[in-house]
Amino acid sequence: MTKIPQISETAPDFSAPDQHGHVVSLKDKSDRWLVLYFYPKDNTPGCTTEAQDFSEYAAQFNQLGADIIGVSPDSEQSHCKFIAKHDLSIQLLSDPEHRVIEAYGAWRLKKFMGKEYMGVVRSTFLISPDGKIAQVWDKVRVKAHVEKVLQELKQQVS
């Protein structure tokens, strides 16, 4: 059974390369809030909408002291193309071995058109500056999701 980190637990540490090949770790973000979200694949409709929504609201998250990082199994090169194609302003991590994805319980059995396969379950974690899980959204529906995350962050910081 896949373990999903719960509210008030210490967030699993991670290190993975971003779209430029720079290794990003949880400890690099220890003075800020972090919105860490997991998505299946660059340039698919839901994933594109989610990334565009997070980019659209990035300045508001930043004003509240939060960074946004998306994680998928896609390569750094794929992330660069995805960011350029959709003018994204968020950081994306490449996790082809699913180390970060599995640490956060987002690599799970999925079903589509009668077939079962392992894949990324869309999920988002709000991590406080002290490294604790502040909120978890599992099996995310993209529509209005970013607004919900922003509202939760506003409540947490006030």
Query: Which long-range contacts (C-beta less than 8 Å, at least 24 apart) are formed by 47-50?
Result: 47/72, 48/82, 48/86, 49/142, 50/122, 50/140, 50/142, 50/145, 50/146
The single residue of 11, 24, 26, 47 carrying the catalytic annotation is: 47
> Is residue 47 annotated as part of the catalytic site, yes or no?
yes
Which positions are catalytic?
47
